[in-house]
Amino acid sequence: MNSLLPDTAPDFDQPVAVLKHCHGRIRKQLATLEKLLAHLPQHGADEQARQAASAVLKYFEKAAHLHHEDEEQDLIPMLRAIAQGEDAATLQALAPVILQDHKDMDAMWQDLHEQLTAIADGSGAQLSSSTVQRFAQRYLGHMEREENTMAPMALRLFGPEQMRQLGQAMQRRRGIDTGNPAAETATAAVPDVAMPGGSVPAPGTTVSVGERVADLRKDYGRASLDENDVLDDPIQQFTRWFEEALKAEVNEPNAMGVSTVDEDGRPSSRIVLIKQFDARGFTWYTNYDSQKGKQLSGNPFACLLFFWSELERQVRIEGKVERTSAEESDKYFNSRPLKSRLSAIASRQSAPIASRADLEHHYEDVARQVGETPQRPENWGGFRLVPERIEFWQGRRSRFHDRVVYTRQEDGSWTRQRLQP
């Protein structure tokens, strides 16, 4: 069972009951926040307060997001697909309200997040009563709306197949195995790492790590990849692998290499964090005036690379990069913690600066100037790589690896081929 859900949660074959159960958990967290408000003035950030703040943080950082995604990506679209007449009209009016609630609650949460983080690590004891009240009221109203309309509608309209589909999507989102054999292989035992004895230096001699690196040899053998077993759509295949990477608790599964090329054809790479992927492409956020930003303005072709070492998997994605809309960039920018927003404003990314002290002074100046609701700077936003070629690589024994590459055709469909290792 997933750690984000309590053991007493209903089974995922009753997905609507699971969603209601999540509401119960949210109500508990809101009650903890209220208690914390009363506790802090008397006791400060004592052990009890720190634990309470950590618990609330943990819940709203993870489980609450998953719950919102269940509704946004599965429940509402599934209801939209089948609702008719009065139900369709109710949904048309309700869905935008629900989505706006999520957005506004996320924004309020960002303010609480900063304060609770400080309480949890003992560096602060401030918790804004008005923000807690607004957050709680909004959430309580929101849950009531859902419980009075969407939940009964789903129970009335969904048949066993829709319930199964919703339950499975919710499980996958939480990294719970839904009977996919590849996922089981992916969590099998970790293979040996071989350091051959030949690397032992003769007495009296020293071998530098730069030379010894050639002796680091790891044989791969956790799983295989067959061109007949992969999904037809590479984005769905990527989704499956990403979910398996989450389930396997791969270190930073969302970190990817981005390679760009300058006007002289010289490549450069760096790691960024993917923030969204869907049929449109793979999105990350950065400074448009950075080195990568300038290179992409001159040459929009780029390559992304994921390496999920624990699963012995690599995914290489090539294509053309475009900027996300200002609206999309604003949405993501506003969802970030305040300090991250201030950092984005304060940093002229990739430009030289004399010292760390200068950087921090500049940050303080920016923080004073822009206050607590800074606007996204125009030179900061999203890039989306629209894929043309996606290669999935699975490590196999003795370097005889599996590689399957998808290539996008002019009509938007994908073909796939096995490549030699």
Which CB atom, from 299 or from 350, has the smaller least distance to ligand FMN?
A: 350
As a whole number of angstroms, the distance between CA 375 and CA 377 comes to: 6
Of 14, 165, 259, 349, the one binding ligand FMN (CB under 6 A) is: 349
Which CB atom, from 290 or from 329, has the smaller least distance to ligand FMN?
A: 290
> Angle at which helices 326-335 and 338-346 pack, to 10 degrees?
120
User: Any contact of residue 270 with ligand FMN (CB under 6 A)?
Assistant: yes
Q: Is 301 helix (H, G, I), strand (E, B) or coil?
A: strand
User: Any contact of residue 324 with ligand FMN (CB under 6 A)?
Assistant: no
As a whole number of angstroms, the distance between CA 173 and CA 65 comes to: 10
As a whole number of angstroms, the distance between CA 232 and CA 211 comes to: 43
Q: Which stretch, 21-29, 112-120, 196-204, 267-275, contacts ligand FMN (CB under 6 A)?
A: 267-275
User: Any contact of residue 271 with ligand FMN (CB under 6 A)?
Assistant: yes
Going by their DSSP bridges, the two strands 301-308 and 217-218 should be labelled as unpaired
Token output for 393: 């690589």
Where in 186-225 is the site for ligand FMN (CB under 6 A)? Answer: none
Paired with 385 in beta bridges are: 282, 321
CB-CB neighbours of 213 under 10 Å: 9
Where in 287-306 is the site for ligand FMN (CB under 6 A)? Answer: 290-292
Which CB atom, from 308 or from 406, has the smaller least distance to ligand FMN?
A: 308
As a whole number of angstroms, the distance between CA 404 and CA 421 comes to: 10
Q: Which stretch, 104-112, 160-168, 286-294, 359-367, contacts ligand FMN (CB under 6 A)?
A: 286-294
Of 350, 388, 407, 408, the one binding ligand FMN (CB under 6 A) is: 350
First to last CA, the chain: 37
Active site residue 156: no
Of 283, 286, 324, 329, the one binding ligand FMN (CB under 6 A) is: 286
Which CB atom, from 15 or from 253, has the smaller least distance to ligand FMN?
A: 253
Q: Which of 261, 278, 239 is nearest to 385 (CA)?
A: 278
Q: How far is the CB of 219 from ligand FMN (least distance, A)?
A: 27
User: Any contact of residue 284 with ligand FMN (CB under 6 A)?
Assistant: yes
Paired with 285 in beta bridges are: 382
Choose the catalytic residue: 80, 397, 399, 418.
Answer: 399
As a whole number of angstroms, the distance between CA 391 and CA 305 comes to: 10
Q: How far is the CB of 348 from ligand FMN (least distance, A)?
A: 11
φ, ψ of residue 392 in degrees (nearest 5): -105, 130
Q: How far is the CB of 61 from ligand FMN (least distance, A)?
A: 18
Q: Which stretch, 66-74, 126-134, 141-149, 281-289, contacts ligand FMN (CB under 6 A)?
A: 281-289
Residue 200 DSSP code: S
Token output for 45: 């950030």
Of 157, 272, 338, 359, the one binding ligand FMN (CB under 6 A) is: 272
Q: How many residues bind ligand FMN (CB under 6 A)?
A: 15
User: Any contact of residue 273 with ligand FMN (CB under 6 A)?
Assistant: yes
How many residues belong to the chain?
Answer: 421
As a whole number of angstroms, the distance between CA 12 and CA 31 comes to: 26
User: Which residues are designated catalytic?
Assistant: 399
Q: Which residues bind ligand FMN (CB under 6 A)?
A: 252, 255, 268, 270-273, 284-286, 290-292, 349-350
